Amino acid sequence: MCGFVVCAGDPAEPSGGDLPALLELIDHRGPDATAYDLPGRRVRMGFKRLAIIDTEHSHQPMRTGDGGLSVVFNGEIYNYLELRDELVREAGAVFETRGDTEVILAGYRHWGPDVVHRLRGMFAFVVHDVEADLLFAARDPFGIKPLYWTRRGSAVWLASEKKALPGLDRAGVDPDALAHYATFQYVPEPATLHHGVHRFEAGHSALFRPGAEPRPVRYFQPLFHPAKVSDEERLHREIEAALRDSVRLHMRSDVPVGTLLSSGIDSTAVTALARETDPRLLTFTARFTDPGLYDELEVASRSAAELGVVNIPAPVSAEDVMAELPRIVWHLDDPVADPALVPLYFVAKKAAEHVTVALGGEGADELFGGYTIYREPKSLKAVTVLPGTAKHLLQRVSRALPEGVKGRGFLERGTAEIEERFIGNAKIFTGDAKTRLLRREGPDPREVTGPIWDESAHLDPATRMQYLDLRTWMRGDILVKADRMSMAHSLELRVPFLDRAVWDVAARIPAEHRLSGPQTKVALRRALARIVPPAIVERPKLGFPTPHRQWLAGPMFEWTDQILAEAQCGHLLDLDYARALLREHRDGTDRARKVWAVLVFCLWYAQIGAEPPHRPAIARQLPPLTPQTALTAPVAGLPGEPVDVVPEYVPAPEAAHGLVPGF
């Protein structure tokens, strides 16, 4: 896992940025080594390395022996050993390193841009073909790793994080992107909150000349194609086999690997399978320490004990949140108003004290149907099947009912078309509330979701909802917080569910094998029954139970109110309205998600959105944003099995890179 900055354009003309200085802003992504490829080249590259594979070699920017190709690459290619063998056999490739970066270079030389179809992993990379004077940039199929770009003067800049692009202090906030943030709680791809700054979308690549703007095209579309299941047991075996193989490959590392363990089936399954490769596995779980709050530690620690692995808690309090939330938001690049990123930040911080790589359960809900809202097409069927005139009458009835009256929401959602009522997992500010917050009518969210709905018109309603989340929520929320919160502490977070082979199985599962009655992820749960403790297999979906409601109504109330009062973004949002929502929340009406969304934006604007002379005190008071360093520290053992220190790491046989003779 690493970070890079690329400037592509005429080096004789001003490009609007100092590459080495910009690269230092993402030192947290790669504190192990810094390297540049600068003098006199039309394409200049800078790289920050977090050494995971072939730690003594595989330095970047990397060039081929003849100097014809160079690359910077952020991520991991899990099938690099297999691809390396194939390139040796088919193309006579000769390798000087034992890492995956050189495999990308050799693969590009042999297959050209089609190399992206061969890569099994998470990645964002830029290849420069010196002789052809071309660049090829690509992002992985599911959007696990980020890639931003912008034009400044005669040059195009690309970077692993937006903060490493020049000119952000002059770019200004895009009001339409802000309106979408207010609704979705994130900015949907490919936009960002800054004018003229873009993201490569997941599964996109671009071939372009230095100085020319990239025009990314889609090379991978994760469209479901449900097929009839004639043998359920065979389906379950296929799911189990695909996930086991994915976890095995994700365990390939020359540095310590652990897992982030919650109380749910996804991370527990990853932990159980990872333990098959490394029985000494360490697991990490967030624990909320304020009195009276639910936390997952009790369930997670029982699962760890049953699996025979060590579980290390990461304490989180309201005081911790107030101290760290500005820093958390700085790491996000664009605001993401998902409170679950807070415990993820702290558990990643704890994990980074002991390991360099961690595995998580992200992506399972989107691939296997894990969200309870996917049951809605069945639960609303009594209304959705009614003729149009009847539905119109019920719509009028629902509008006449006072807010909060039981049944109003059922009628509202049942009488609306699926494309209107479901825009994804989050729906924060809509209708009059959104207009009041923005002081204007923002763009319709269906500008984002409409084309995606059109692509899935042939699928059943539940699968269409799942596809929408895969294209929006997972990319804009789940994977952004996973990448930024882990990399904030120089921790590589790997997500085995988001693997091409796992996807190939998940894409074929029909809705009735994903959802049954109140149960979600049915096929996955059955597939994991022999792997995961029984109590976890049948445990209902909880989400990450972050206590932001209690925090905002109690210990964080005054702090939040002060930030909203002092924020300098009143020209963009009605902050008096936001403070009124905060008081309503304190007085017993749940406004937590709306308040949290505004709070996160205010913290973002103070540090990144506002021009430096106008940044409020909260931004100037931040501590230096230095990278976290890995520590060897005492950990708690299983009951009756005390552990004093983390043992010195030696790669387990399946985790080591030397699986292929000759390496």
**pLDDT tens track for 24-69:** 999 999 999 999 886 557 899 999 999 999 888 889 999 998 889 9
Computed over every residue of the chain, the mean pLDDT equals 87
Whether the per-residue pLDDT at 436 is higher than 90: the answer is yes
Residue 19 lies in a domain: yes
In this prediction, residue 519 carries a pLDDT of: 87
Classify residue 516 by its DSSP letter.
B
Q: Tell me whether residue 431 is in a domain.
A: no
- At residue 209, does pLDDT exceed 90? yes
Q: Indicate whether 602 pLDDT > 60.
A: yes
pLDDT tier at 403, thresholds 50, 70, 90: low
CA 176 to chain centre: 22
Distance CA 655, CA 663 (A): 14
Domain boundary among 218, 253, 278: 218
Mean pLDDT calculated for residue range 321-325: 96
18-22, 155-159, 221-225, 556-560: which range is least confident on average?
18-22
pLDDT at 663 over 50: no
Domain assignment present for 389:
no
What's the confidence (pLDDT) of residue 610?
62
- Asked if residue 336 is part of any domain, the answer here is no
Tell me, what's the pLDDT at 527?
95
Q: In this structure, is the dihedral angle defined by the CA atoms of residues 139, 140, 141 and 144, taken in order, positive or negative?
A: negative
Give the mean pLDDT of 457-478. 96
Q: Is the predicted pLDDT of residue 402 greater than 90, yes or no?
A: no
Q: Residue 46: which domain range?
A: 2-172+198-218
Residue 645 has pLDDT above 80, yes or no: no
The answer to whether residue 360 is domain-embedded is no
Which run of H or of E encompasses 288?
strand 282-288
Q: What are phi and psi of 396, to 5 degrees?
A: -65, -35
- Cβ contact 411:383 at 8 Å: yes
Q: What angle do CA 73, 331, 333 make, to 5 degrees?
A: 80
**Does position 551 have pLDDT exceeding 90, yes or no?**
yes
CATH code, domain with 154: 3.60.20.10
What is the identity of the amino acid at 360? G
15 pLDDT tier (thresholds 50, 70, 90): low
More confident position, 321 or 13 = 321
CA 34 to chain centre: 25
**48 domain-assigned:** yes
pLDDT band at 535 (very low <50, low <70, confident <90, very high): confident
Residue 534 located in a structural domain? no
pLDDT for 292: 76
569 is catalytic: no
Which of 132, 149, 158 lies closest to 69, judged by CA? 132
More confidently predicted of 558 and 264: 558
**Greater pLDDT, 303 or 627:** 303
Q: Compute the C-alpha angle 216/221/226, nearest 5°.
A: 175
Count the domains in the chain. Answer: 2
Residue 154, pLDDT score:
86
pLDDT of residue 652 exceeding 90: no
- Is residue 303 within 8 A of residue 267, CB to CB? The reply is no
User: What is the structure's pLDDT at 632?
Assistant: 25
pLDDT digit string (tens) for 61-115?
999 988 899 999 999 999 999 999 999 999 999 999 999 999 999 999 999 999 9
- Beta-carbon-side half-sphere exposure of residue 379 (alpha carbons within 13 Å): 15
Buried b (16+ CB within 10 A) or exposed e, 15-40: bbbebeebbebbebbbbbeebebeee
* pLDDT surpasses 50 at 459: yes
| CB within 8 Å of 159: residues ≥ 6 apart | 3, 4, 5, 6, 22, 26, 147, 148, 149, 165
| Predicted confidence band of residue 487 (pLDDT cuts 50, 70, 90) | very high
Evaluate whether residue 385 is within a structural domain: no
Given the residues 2, 7, 569, 602, the one annotated as active site: 2
Assess contact for 262 and 546: CB atoms under 8 A: no
Q: What is the pLDDT of residue 631?
A: 25
The mean per-residue pLDDT over the stretch 204-208 comes to: 97
Tens of pLDDT along 140-157?
999 999 999 999 988 999
Average pLDDT, stretch 239-251? 97
Residue 637 has pLDDT above 70, yes or no: no
- SS (HEC) of 243-267: HHHHHHHHCCCCCCEEEECCCCHHH
Q: Where are the beta strands (DSSP E) in 130-227?
A: 134-139, 148-152, 155-159, 197-199, 204-208, 217-218
Query: Residue 576: pLDDT above 70?
Result: yes
pLDDT digits (tens, 9 = 90+) for 278-304: 999 999 999 999 887 777 888 899 999
